[in-house]
């Protein structure tokens, strides 16, 4: 198959389209479509995607895209191609880092403000100035009041969440802290978006919305040979231009091929593991089925044997009773009436 555009789900493709200064307008457009609201993002600053832990020995976080908007809100955007048992925990852990950093920054700024305020108050005292409002403001700035900016984690998942947590026709999930008693949003400044990409049904996307167009473009970009006419916004003109494989430099092409190899190797490893797991599951199921069948067969055989043995024992006991009654000279009719043994069998035993 002829490939004209890069795969946006591989590491290189995702970071080229959304993690470069050249294309930050693409990221701004996508994030505005995702979060909506009346206060759109107008600019953003990329931050170091390598986040070192605070203590020696703590793990280092590597984010696909990490940025701060013009309003101070923090965004982490991740492209994940494989399911992990604790994927939700991972996203919460990632969200905790920018929250923690805001606290550190707030304390540092408060400490700096305290020093400046002390110096200013000394000057004011010297000048005999007594402005209550000004003094109150400076004292307030001496401490951090725990006010946080919004933190968003956007998890683009090339897999579905396990255990059918959401219906098949539901692929976009917005998660915030909620009061479970009355179901109102308790805290709005921490928001996690989970996007189950395999569930996207292009026939059901609303292409009259920017978000619908973005999901349509991203989920099909790799398979197009030209930009669809229904994606007529200038932002998508740029998206498809930036995704052109033919426009890559030799170095970019090499990086992309390496990224695609990792992507395909990972896919084949997962698929191979799934097939082997299926085969082993069938073999184990057959083994257990045979063992269970044998167990059931032995139990049923034992039950049938006991029943048949009991029946034979009863018959034999009746025959012995018949013989005793014959020895005592009791007539055949009476014996038949007493034991229920057929007259023919009583007659047969009377000859011995």
Tens-binned pLDDT, residue by residue, of the chain (352 aa): 568 999 999 999 999 999 999 999 999 999 999 998 878 999 999 998 765 444 334 444 567 899 999 999 999 999 999 888 899 999 999 999 899 888 877 666 656 655 665 555 555 555 554 455 555 555 455 577 889 999 999 999 999 998 788 998 899 999 999 999 999 999 999 999 999 999 999 889 999 999 999 999 999 999 999 999 889 899 999 999 999 999 999 999 999 999 999 888 877 877 777 688 767 777 777 777 777 777 777 777 677 767 766 777 777 777 888 787 777 777 777 777 777 778 777 787 776 6
- Tell me how far apart the alpha carbons of residues 32 and 39 are, in angstroms, rounded to a whole number: 9
> From its phi and psi, is residue 46 left (phi > 0), alpha (psi between -120 and 50) or beta?
beta
DSSP three-state, residue 51: strand
Q: Which two tokens stand for residue 121?
A: 């108050």
Q: Which two tokens stand for residue 233?
A: 């916004």
Q: Which two tokens stand for residue 225?
A: 């040979």
Which residues have a Cβ under 8 Å from the Cβ of 14 and sit 6 or more positions away? 8, 64, 65, 79, 156
Distance of CA 176 to the CA centre of its chain: 16
Backbone CA torsion sign across 54, 56, 61, 67: positive
Domain ranges, ordered by start, for the chain? 11-245, 314-349
Q: Which of 99, 45, 105 is nearest to 70 (CA)?
A: 45
Pinpoint the alpha helices (H) of 64-157: 87-126, 132-140
């Amino acid at each position: 198959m002829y490939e004209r555009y890069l795969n946006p789900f591989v590491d290189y493709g995702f970071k080229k389209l959304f993690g470069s200064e050249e294309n930050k307008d693409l990221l701004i457009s996508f994030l505005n479509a995702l979060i909506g609201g009346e206060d759109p993002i107008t600019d953003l600053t990329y931050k170091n995607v390598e986040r070192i832990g605070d203590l020696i020995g703590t793990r280092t976080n590597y984010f696909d895209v990490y940025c701060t908007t013009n309003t101070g809100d923090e965004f982490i955007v991740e492209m994940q191609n494989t399911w992990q048992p604790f994927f939700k925990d991972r996203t919460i852990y990632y969200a905790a880092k920018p929250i923690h950093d805001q606290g550190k920054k707030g304390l540092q700024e408060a400490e700096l403000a305290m020093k400046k305020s002390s110096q200013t108050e000394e000057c004011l005292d010297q000048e005999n100035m007594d402005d209550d409002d000004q003094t109150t403001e400076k004292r307030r700035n001496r401490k951090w009041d725990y006010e946080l900016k919004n933190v968003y984690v956007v998890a683009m998942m090339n897999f579905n969440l396990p255990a059918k947590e959401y219906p098949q026709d539901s692929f976009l999930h917005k998660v915030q802290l909620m009061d479970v008693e009355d179901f109102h949003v308790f805290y709005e400044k921490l928001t996690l978006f989970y996007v189950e990409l395999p569930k996207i049904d292009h026939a059901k996307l609303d292409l009259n919305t920017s978000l619908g167009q973005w999901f349509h473009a991203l989920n099909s970009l790799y398979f197009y040979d030209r930009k669809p006419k229904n994606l007529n916004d200038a932002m998508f003109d740029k998206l498809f231009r930036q995704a052109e494989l033919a426009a890559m430099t030799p170095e970019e092409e090499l990086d992309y091929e390496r990224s695609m190899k990792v992507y395909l190797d990972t896919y084949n490893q997962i698929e191979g593991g799934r097939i082997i797991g299926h085969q082993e599951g069938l073999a184990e199921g057959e083994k257990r089925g045979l063992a269970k069948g044998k167990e059931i067969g032995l139990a049923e055989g034992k039950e049938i044997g006991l029943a048949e043995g009991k029946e034979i024992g009863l018959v034999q006991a009746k025959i012995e009773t018949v013989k005793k009654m014959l020895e005592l000279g009791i007539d055949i009719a009476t014996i038949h009436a007493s034991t229920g043994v057929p007259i023919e069998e009583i007659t047969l035993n009377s000859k011995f």
